[in-house]
Structures are given as C-alpha cells and as structure tokens.
C-alpha cells in the first residue's frame, strides 16, 4: 500500500487557508492512485506530528505544499515528522532543485519518501501559465501580454526569491509572453511599480503563493493599485496607469497544482499509473467549464 | 441461512493448507487434522456448544452451511461474524480494526470472547458508543436477516433522540471536514477536539473504513493514539520536551515558568475546552495540577494551538509585576470579576441586552468604561 501526505501550513485564524490543500487532496483521491491520502498541517489537524501514525500503508510519500525550500521544508516538517536523520544537504539542492530523500522509519515500520516542495518543481511553471490562461479566460494567452510572477522576497529566506526567478526564467525561455518579470513584495524589483516594468498594455500578475491570505488578497491588490481598499474588491482586468492588470490571487488555488503534487510523488518512486494524465484532464477541463472560479478573488 | 460465498471462503481458507489455515476467531475453531495422508477437520464452537471431529471437506461445508440440523443453526452467526471481521475488515493489529471492534463492544483478544450470539442480538438492535461529541451506532446492514456485514451511523450526541428527517444526511466521509470547520455560530474551530461541534447532521450506512475516515476528519489522529494507548505504546511528549523542541518565534515557550504551565493546562486542556484527555505533564514525574479530563482519546503532547498561546504567555510572563492603585466601588470590583468570567466561560452571547443585573452586560461594561477610563485607558496610578 502507498500513501500520500500533503504537508501544508494551515491557520489557527483563517478557515480558508487549508481550502487549496483539501481541494488538491480530493483531486488526488479521485484518481485512486494512493490507498490513503492525508492532509497534514503545522497549524491545523492532523498535525505533522501525528499524521504518519494514521496511515496503514508501508510506503509514504510526503509532499510539502510550500513554495520554496527553507525553514519549513528543511527544519520544521522533518523535525515534526521525526525524520531525525534528515539533513538539508541530503537534498543536494541549489535552492530550487530538491527532489526527495528516503528514510526507513523502523519504529512505525514504514518507508518515508520526503519530497521537495511543490513550488520549485518544474511542473509548477505550467501551473503559473495555466493561471494566466484561466485569469484571462484565454487558453492561448501570451502574444502582446506581459506576465509578472510575484513572490514574497528575501525577507525570510533567499530561496523564496530563487523559486520565483526560476519559474520566470523558464517561462521567458518559452517566448510565449512578450515580457516576463519576477517581482517581489519586499525587495527590488517591487510589485508596487509593476506597470513600470512592462511595455505591454495587458499584464497578468500571478502571485507564487500556496494559499490566499492577506498578502494575496489585501497587500498585493492595494500595492499594485487594483483597488484603494481591498474590502471593496477589484475588477478583472483592472485599469492601472494605462495598463490592464489581470489578477486573481494565489496560484496555489489553481486546480493543476494537484498535478505538481503527483509529479513530486512520482519522482520519489510512487506508482501512479495514469493518474497524472487524468489529473491534467480533470483540472484543465475544470478551468474551461467553470470560468467563475478564476475570478473568485476580487469581484 | 448462511450465504454460500461466506461458507466457500471459509472452507477454502481451511482446506487451502498453509500455516494460517486453522481458524480460531471469536469462538469459532476449525483445525485441520492430518492422519493416514488424509485430511479431516475439527469444528468447535464456544468451547463445546458444537464439537465435531473427523469431518471431510464436504461434511465441514454442510455443517457450516447450516445443513446439519441443530449444529447448523448454532454455527451460522459464527460464520458470518468470521467473514465480516476476517474478510471484510481484515487489518489485524491496525487501529482501524480495533476501533471497529470497540464500536460493537467486541473483545480485542480471542480468549475473552463474549459469545457471538449475544453480541449479534445487540448489533441487531444497534450498539451506540460515544467518541467525544460523536455518537456511533454499529448495526447490521440487513437487520432482519443479518449476513454479518455491518453498517455504521454517525451523528452528534445531542442529536441522539432527533428524528433522522430533521437532520442533514451525509454518506461521504469527507463531508465531515466541512462540518468540523465551524461551530453552531459559524465561528472557525481551529481545535478540532473543542466541544463545539455543531449539531443537525447524520452519516448513515457507512462502511467500517468510511466510518474511520469520517471520525478521522472530525477528530484527527484520535483513533491512532487511542489504539497506541491500549497497546501500551502511547509516546507521550511532556511539556518540557515539546517546549525544548520549538524553534523560531516559538523558541521562547520554553521560558514559560513552571507554575504558568498549570495555568495554561487549566485554561486550554480541561474537558470544557478540549475533549482530548491530557496525558502530557510538565515532565515525567512532575504532574500538572489541573485534571486531564475523562475522554476516551488521549492527548500525547501540547498541540499547536497551545504552543501558539504559550508564546504569548511566555512573553507576557517575562514582565515584572508592579503594583497599581485605582479607585473602584465594591460593585465595580465584583463587576470586573464577572466580566472576566463571562469571557472565560464564553457566556457573552447569552447575556441579555437589558439584563443589567449581569456585570458583563454590555450597558454595564460601557457605563464602567465611561466612568473609569480616560483617553481609552483604565485610570490608575503606578506605585
Ligand atoms: S494540548 Fe490541550 S488543548 Fe491541545 S489537544 Fe491537547 S488537551 Fe487539547
């Protein structure tokens, strides 16, 4: 038997913080690829500390629903899962290339594959592009359009900026969008000045965050100038300095994130059959048939 | 009549050879005896109620299928019971299996087996168990002619007498996730084991696995820890260990004074606030004062909510105490106590608008503020 654990932050205060985790877990459940699928949290239950014992499977794949390598993926999650032998060096990562490490947890008789975070997986690049498609309701969006990938910045950890730049570079190489920029909330180049960085009239702004919270629903909309006051909401697109800005909140709410979770587990050796293809089908058709969900953020 | 497929599965198991071919389960014993290159079987039920030796495979089949007169009628529930537990549930040694056994008061070890017919009579009526605020009924899928397969119903203990028609019926365990997220007043429940589960819903006809999943969404990991405790394997992490493990902004919790940990447990962990039974103490050999609670499932270490609150208290407790002097009438002093009690007991919603006898009444609080506050602060002198 094999199990998937999606390890996310969660919140004591905001009940919506775990919604994307639940939604992606449910998508994976629908595929039947894992005998057991569990959401686990730092601030909700089941806690990281107690999740492994709820599983009957011998083979466990733990995928952190985090954007970058850092404090949570290197320290908190391994410690709380009791992966006592884990050292971040075992990932041999340059900050965005952690794939997985395997442990034999003999006390519980399980093999635990501890995977790198979703945010740095190559498949995440596709999710950002898909987000641009869904927010503009244009499956071929790109020509004549600029794309801003927005991250938190270095305040807490330098790898968070690396992840944003990594995906921005990869999208730029595809030459699909006229311009692609990596912007940040608390360092240069800043998202506040987003219109300065683009010549295109249309700019899609995609925040590389796992869940919606005050950064994506309050700070960014106000910083970018989509609205005076986030409580009033904003339109998609919104006019700012002669540009049209397309913005709809955290990329982590995009259905295709379930694909990245599966890719992480597959890289670590999970046997998934055709689950990845099926998830791609489910999550891309959901976008086309239900454009409402793309404008959930502001209007 | 025992379903033919149940009999066939059982016969195949015992005739299949192999090490685990003998059956000894809940009072049903079938052993394979080898003599003169021939196999015969011994079938014994509940230490002698039925005792047949020297049966060949067809003979065994006939008895199990209830075609052997009196013995057949006795055998039937043992066969269907075997089928449910060994074939449908399986999972020997798992928490899931132990929990489902507990749901119908079935013994975990074979040697103290209550007789299956007696248990069947109870399951036929439905056996109710309580798990926190959950009420679980174990019953037969088909109560009139039970074939051994169980179904489980799940609802709030406060709805135990409610009409099913009055409840919102669910059959998908995941619905429990949403039900567990908000309390009756629509407030977020960050602590899943807080005694604030909303009422008005029921899950009916769940399979054993679905029941365990649903309970897992309501009260995550409680079954696993309960099972560990019963097996003598609960790994309790006491306060001092859990505090020492924290890092980042939570590193400070280890500075919380010893006596403050008593107050913390009294504030957060008693049964009125959390249904987990606190098994962690300050450290091994140094117990906390407040009662740990009476619930069926244990709490093995301070949870994330308690750690987050402890951070606040650790920082606050690092301040030195001072003496303040302020003027209050005796009634005002009493009122301060009533205000604190009302918030601590989550009673503010119940205080009626015009109940000015209650010190925590809004008008009373506003009056006190108008009288004793200046520039938004309680007027007092620091000594
Ligand atoms: S630490 Fe206290 S509040 Fe938290 S789960 Fe345990 S008993 Fe409940």
Mean pLDDT for each 10-residue chunk of chain B (383 residues)? 80 78 89 77 84 88 79 84 94 96 82 77 95 97 88 96 93 96 96 98 97 98 98 97 96 97 98 97 97 95 98 97 96 97 96 96 97 95 90
Domain coordinates of chain A in residue numbers?
2-120+254-289, 123-252
- Answer left, alpha or beta for residue B21, where phi above 0 means left and psi between -120 and 50 means alpha: alpha
Q: Is residue A123 within 8 Å of residue A261, measured between CB atoms?
A: no
pTM for this structure?
0.93
Query: Which ipTM score applies to this complex?
Result: 0.92
Residue-level pLDDT at A156: 61
Is the sign of the CA dihedral B107, B110, B113, B116 positive or negative?
A: positive
Residue-level pLDDT at B326: 95
Chain length of chain B: 383
Nearest to B338 by CA among B323, B355, B325: B355
Q: Where are the alpha helices (DSSP H) in chain A?
A: 19-31, 48-51, 77-80, 123-136, 158-173, 214, 220-224, 257-267, 275-289
- A173 Cβ contact partners less than 8 Å away, ≥ 6 residues apart: none
Distance of alpha carbon B63 from alpha carbon B43, whole angstroms: 9
Assign 3-class secondary structure to B220-249.
CCHHHHHHHHHCCCCCCCCHHHHHHHCCHH
Distance of alpha carbon A205 from alpha carbon A193, whole angstroms: 12
Beta carbons of A50 and B220 less than 8 Å apart: yes
Q: What is the mean pLDDT of residues A34-46?
A: 97
Mean pLDDT computed over every residue of chain A? 90
Q: B21 in contact with A at a CB cutoff of 8 Å?
A: no
Name residue, tokens 């036929």: B124
Q: Residue A189 corresponds to which tokens in the numbers above?
A: 């180049």
CATH architecture designation of domain A2-120+254-289: 3-Layer(aba) Sandwich (3.40)
Distance of alpha carbon A172 from alpha carbon A150, whole angstroms: 14
Of B94, B174, B224, the CB nearest to A26: B174
Residue-level pLDDT at A298: 34
DSSP letter, residue A256: T
Chain A residues in contact with B191 (beta carbon < 8 A): 45
Q: Residue B135 corresponds to which tokens in the numbers above?
A: 């009420």
Residue-level pLDDT at B68: 66
Distance of alpha carbon B218 from alpha carbon B157, whole angstroms: 13
Containing B348, the helix (H) or strand (E) segment is none
Nearest to A211 by CA among A10, A6, A7: A10
- B123 Cβ contact partners less than 8 Å away, ≥ 6 residues apart: B104, B138, B139, B140, B146, B150
Name residue, tokens 């209650």: B358
Which structural domains are found in chain B, ordered by start? 4-87 (no CATH), 92-230 (3.30.1360.190), 239-317 (3.30.70.2320), 324-382 (no CATH)
> Least CA distance to B309: which residue of chain A?
A12
What's the pLDDT tens digit per position in A131-141? 999 999 999 99
Q: B192 in contact with A at a CB cutoff of 8 Å?
A: yes
Q: Is residue A40 within 8 Å of residue A5, measured between CB atoms?
A: yes
B298 lines ligand 1 (CB under 6 A): no
Query: Which of B261, B273, B278, B281 has most ligand 1 atoms within 8 Å of CB, for mutation?
Result: B278
Residue-level pLDDT at A281: 86
B276 lines ligand 1 (CB under 6 A): yes
What's the pLDDT tens digit per position in A99-138? 889 998 877 889 999 999 999 999 999 999 999 999 999 9
Q: Could you give phi then psi for residue A25, rounded to 5 degrees?
A: -60, -40
Distance of alpha carbon A128 from alpha carbon A77, whole angstroms: 25
Distance from the alpha carbon of residue A86 to the mean position of ligand 1, in angstroms: 28
Given a cut of 80, whether residue A20 has pLDDT beyond it is: yes
- Answer left, alpha or beta for residue B18, where phi above 0 means left and psi between -120 and 50 means alpha: left
DSSP code string of A97-153: ---EEEEEETTTTEEEEEEPPGGGSTHHHHHHHHHHHHHHT-TTTTTTEEEEEEE--
SS3 content of chain B, % helix, strand, coil (to 5): 40, 20, 40
- Residue B186 to residues B169, B178, B179: CA-CA distances in angstroms? 19, 11, 10
Nearest to B224 by CA among B350, B65, B98: B98
Q: Could you give phi then psi for residue A102, rounded to 5 degrees?
A: -110, 140
pLDDT grade, residue A290 (50/70/90)? very low
Given a cut of 90, whether residue A251 has pLDDT beyond it is: yes
Distance of alpha carbon A206 from alpha carbon B326, whole angstroms: 55
Nearest to A63 by CA among A49, A53, A48: A48
Containing B367, the helix (H) or strand (E) segment is helix B362-372
Q: Is residue A40 within 8 Å of residue A92, measured between CB atoms?
A: no
Q: What's the burial of B204, exposed, middle or buried (CB within 10 Å: 0-12/13-18/19+)?
A: middle
Distance of alpha carbon B261 from alpha carbon A102, whole angstroms: 38
> What count of CB pairs under 8 Å joins A to B?
58
Distance of alpha carbon A214 from alpha carbon A205, whole angstroms: 16
More confident residue, B35 or A55: A55
Distance of alpha carbon A141 from alpha carbon A110, whole angstroms: 45
Residue-level pLDDT at A291: 38
Name residue, tokens 């990932």: A91
Residue-level pLDDT at B209: 97
Residue-level pLDDT at B113: 56
Q: At B265, is the secondary structure helix, strand, or coil?
A: helix
On the question of a common fold for A2-120+254-289 and A123-252, the answer reads yes
> Least CA distance to A82: which residue of chain B?
B245
Given a cut of 50, whether residue A294 has pLDDT beyond it is: no
CA A244 to chain CA centroid, nearest Å: 25
Q: What's the burial of A111, exposed, middle or buried (CB within 10 Å: 0-12/13-18/19+)?
A: middle
Containing B324, the helix (H) or strand (E) segment is strand B324-325
Residue-level pLDDT at A288: 45
Q: Residue B68 corresponds to which tokens in the numbers above?
A: 């052997």
- Ligand 1 atom nearest the C-alpha of B273 is 3
Distance of alpha carbon B382 from alpha carbon B264, whole angstroms: 28
Q: Is residue B199 within 8 Å of residue B159, measured between CB atoms?
A: yes
CA of B189, closest CA in chain A: separation in Å?
8
> What burial letters (b/e) apply to B175-194, b meaning 16+ CB within 10 Å?
bbbebbbeeeeeeebbbbbb
Distance of alpha carbon B83 from alpha carbon B95, whole angstroms: 19
Q: At B146, is the secondary structure helix, strand, or coil?
A: coil
Distance of alpha carbon A273 from alpha carbon A266, whole angstroms: 10
Residue-level pLDDT at A285: 60
DSSP letter, residue A190: B
Percentage of residues of chain A with pLDDT beyond 90: 77
Q: What CATH number was assigned to the domain covering residues A123-252?
A: 3.40.50.1400
Q: Residue B289 corresponds to which tokens in the numbers above?
A: 């004062």
Distance of alpha carbon B2 from alpha carbon B8, whole angstroms: 10
- B169 Cβ contact partners less than 8 Å away, ≥ 6 residues apart: B201, B202, B203, B204
B100 lines ligand 1 (CB under 6 A): no
Distance linking the first and last C-alpha atoms of chain A: 44
Given a cut of 60, whether residue A287 has pLDDT beyond it is: no
Of B182, B248, B301, the CB nearest to A71: B248
What's the pLDDT tens digit per position in A142-170? 999 999 999 988 766 678 889 999 999 99
């Amino acid at each position: 038997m094999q199990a998937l654990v999606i390890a996310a932050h969660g919140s004591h205060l905001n009940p919506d913080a775990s919604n994307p985790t639940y939604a992606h877990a449910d998508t994976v459940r629908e595929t039947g690829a894992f005998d057991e699928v569990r959401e686990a949290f730092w601030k909700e239950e089941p806690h990281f500390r107690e999740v492994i014992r709820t599983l009957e499977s011998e083979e466990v794949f733990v995928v952190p629903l985090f954007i970058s390598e850092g404090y949570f993926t290197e320290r908190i999650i391994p410690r709380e899962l009791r992966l006592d032998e884990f050292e971040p060096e075992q990932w041999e990562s340059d900050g965005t290339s952690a794939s997985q490490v395997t442990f034999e947890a003999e006390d519980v008789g399980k093999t635990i594959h501890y995977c790198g975070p979703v945010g740095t997986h190559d498949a995440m690049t596709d999710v950002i592009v898909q987000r641009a498609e869904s927010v503009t309701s244009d499956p071929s969006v790109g020509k004549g359009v600029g794309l801003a990938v927005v991250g938190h910045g270095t305040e807490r950890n330098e790898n968070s900026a690396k992840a944003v730049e990594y995906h921005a570079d990869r999208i730029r190489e595809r030459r699909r969008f006229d311009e692609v920029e990596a912007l940040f909330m608390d360092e240069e180049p800043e998202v506040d000045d987003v219109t300065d960085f683009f010549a295109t009239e249309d700019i899609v702004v995609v925040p590389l965050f796992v869940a919606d919270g005050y950064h994506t629903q309050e700070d960014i909309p106000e910083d970018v100038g989509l609205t005076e006051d986030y409580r009033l909401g904003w339109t998609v697109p919104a006019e700012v300095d002669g540009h049209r800005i397309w913005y709809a909140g955290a990329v982590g709410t995009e259905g295709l994130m379930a694909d990245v979770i599966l890719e992480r587990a597959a890289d670590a050796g999970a046997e998934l059959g055709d689950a990845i293809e099926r998830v791609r089908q489910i999550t891309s058709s959901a976008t086309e048939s239900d454009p409402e969900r793309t404008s959930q953020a502001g209007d | 009549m025992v379903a033919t497929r149940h009999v066939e599965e059982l016969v195949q198991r015992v005739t299949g050879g192999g090490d685990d071919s003998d059956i000894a389960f809940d009072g049903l014993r079938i052993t394979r005896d080898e003599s003169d290159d021939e196999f015969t079987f011994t079938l014994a039920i509940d230490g002698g109620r039925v005792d047949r030796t020297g049966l060949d495979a067809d003979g065994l089949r006939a008895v199990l299928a209830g075609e052997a007169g009196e013995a057949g009628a006795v055998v039937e529930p043992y066969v269907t019971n075997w089928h449910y537990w060994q074939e449908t549930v399986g999972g020997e040694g798992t928490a899931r299996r132990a929990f489902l056994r507990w749901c119908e008061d079935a013994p975990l070890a074979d040697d103290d087996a209550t007789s299956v017919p007696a248990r069947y009579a109870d399951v036929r009526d439905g056996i109710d168990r309580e798990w926190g605020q959950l009420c679980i009924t174990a019953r037969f899928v088909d109560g009139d002619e039970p074939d051994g397969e169980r179904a489980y119903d799940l609802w709030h203990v406060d709805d135990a007498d409610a009409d099913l028609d009055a409840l919102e019926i669910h059959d998908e365990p995941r619905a429990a996730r949403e039900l567990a997220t908000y309390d009756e007043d629509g407030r977020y429940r960050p602590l899943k084991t807080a005694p604030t589960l909303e009422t008005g819903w029921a899950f009916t006809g769940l399979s054993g696995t679905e029941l365990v999943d649903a309970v897992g969404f309501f009260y995550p990991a409680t079954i696993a820890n309960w099972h560990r405790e019963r097996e003598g394997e609960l790994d309790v992490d006491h306060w001092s260990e859990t505090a020492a493990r924290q890092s980042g902004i939570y590193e400070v919790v280890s500075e919380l004074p010893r006596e403050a940990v008593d107050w913390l447990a009294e504030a957060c962990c008693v049964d009125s606030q959390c249904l987990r039974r606190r098994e962690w103490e300050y450290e091994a050999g140094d117990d906390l004062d407040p009662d740990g609670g009476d619930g069926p499932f244990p709490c093995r270490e301070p949870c994330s909510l308690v750690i987050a609150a402890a951070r606040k208290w650790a920082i606050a407790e690092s301040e030195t105490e001072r003496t303040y002097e302020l003027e209050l009438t005796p009634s005002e002093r009493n009122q301060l106590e009533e205000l604190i009690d009302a918030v601590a007991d989550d009673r503010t919603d119940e205080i009626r608008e015009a109940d000015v006898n209650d010190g925590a009444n809004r008008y009373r609080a506003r009056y006190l503020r108008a009288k004793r506050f200046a520039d938004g602060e309680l007027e007092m002198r620091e000594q």
